Amino acid sequence: MSKASIIGAYNTAFGAFIKKDKATGLVTDTKTYYDLLIEAGRGAIADAGLEAKDIDAIYVGSCSPGSFINQEHVAPIAAEIHADLRFKPMTRCECACASSSVALYDAVYAIEAGRARHVLVIGVEKMNLLPTPQMTHVLACSSHWPSEGSRGMSFPMLFAEYAKGYQAHYKIPAEELEKMLWTAGALCYKNGAENPLAHVQNGPATVEAIMKLNELDAKGKCKNMMIAAPLRLHDCSLVTDGAAALVITQTANVTNKARAVEIAGIGHSAERLPENVRPNMHELMAGKDAVAKAFKEANITAADIDLAEVHDCFTINQILSTEALGLSVDGRGGYDYLDGRFTRDDQVAINLSGGLKSKGHPVGATGASMHALIYKQLIGEPIGVKAKKADIGVAFNVGGSAVTNCVTVLKKL
């Protein structure tokens, strides 16, 4: 297991922090990238009971700030958190939607190398300043550009390939697959309704509510339109602005065990970037490899997990992630959701935060947010729905089309 523990965390509110003039189309930024990064960093340091001068290094996870807000070289923005952070080493990490999980892992390596005693990790993204077509293009740059992005393949289309592969391999009728996806999405909406930081707190929280949105109006349109068959609008995660931060230290240096959570195991596995060269499209092969690495290091099995935050960028990936973690038998994840599994009352609860579907998905911040909210559950300070039991939690964060796979096992000290 690693030699590092989380001793503080902070999650900003998630949302679309802009104001748009309907007449002119002018967009005003109401909470900037800089504001979000600074708020999260200050919050995490305070939550850890430290002062800025105690921080030895800072790692910032951010996916595409150069395209989203015209700002590269973002790590030094952290110097604005407090004057005492000036001259500290600051590094940006990028692995698409897994950017801040990778930032956390780099921070762990710095701790284990003995180069740092306390490290601040920040994940941040500001996505809503761009119109939808430009935002979609920016995200597509995290696909394999020659074979995917340049040919008009968006991320809904890329994950639709997994949905179609899963359906074909396990011979699932289309109507049944749809209900599986809607059930997974409704669970996240239900949980997110109780998360005060969530981007959407009033989403359709039952399968019936989602089905109602599929009904055509007089113009032949519906509110839950098809985006990339079989994925509809409510199978897709949100375009979100937000930040989250963590403070980690050497486990041997922890003074208040009641507010410390051990990073017990890490699994970081990369898949081949183009989908068309992968052996199959019905399972998260690299995800399973990351799970095996993390569970082995932490000396746990799936049966030991109390709660998990999984990367539901699309509802199909929620099901695939559940199977990759060993919480469902391959091909049975969707049926388990249909049977009412993985709620707050189950043996293992999934996405109590509301997940990317309801809490939101500021891509560079998602990994840090997953870890922050599991940390809060494990120390008995839950944000939103409280886990029935919270001794061991797992974060499963994905970058790209299931390319960068980061699995972290967190344990109470």
Q: Which of the residues 144, 282, 311, 361 is marked catalytic? A: 361
Q: Cα–Cα–Cα angle for 11, 17, 20, nearest 5°?
A: 175
Task: Provide the Cα torsion 229, 231, 233, 239; round to 10°.
Answer: -120
Q: What φ, ψ does residue 215 adopt, rounded to 5°?
A: -70, 140
Q: How many CA atoms lie within 13 A of 236 on its CB side?
A: 21
Handedness of CA 50, 52, 53, 57 (dihedral sign): positive
Handedness of CA 343, 207, 14, 160 (dihedral sign): positive
DSSP bridge pairs for 267: 407
Task: Provide the H-helix boundaries in 228-387.
Answer: 285-298, 315-324, 333-338, 355-358, 366-378
Structure tokens, 223: 């509110």
Structure tokens, 57: 């290094």
Handedness of CA 410, 44, 96, 198 (dihedral sign): positive
Q: Which of the residues 97, 236, 313, 406 is marked catalytic? A: 97
Report the distance separating Cα 333 and Cα 326, nearest Å.
10
DSSP bridge pairs for 396: 310, 407
Active site includes 371? no
Task: Provide the Cα torsion 236, 241, 247, 251; round to 10°.
Answer: 0
Active site includes 361? yes
Question: Which amino acids are annotated catalytic?
Answer: 97, 361
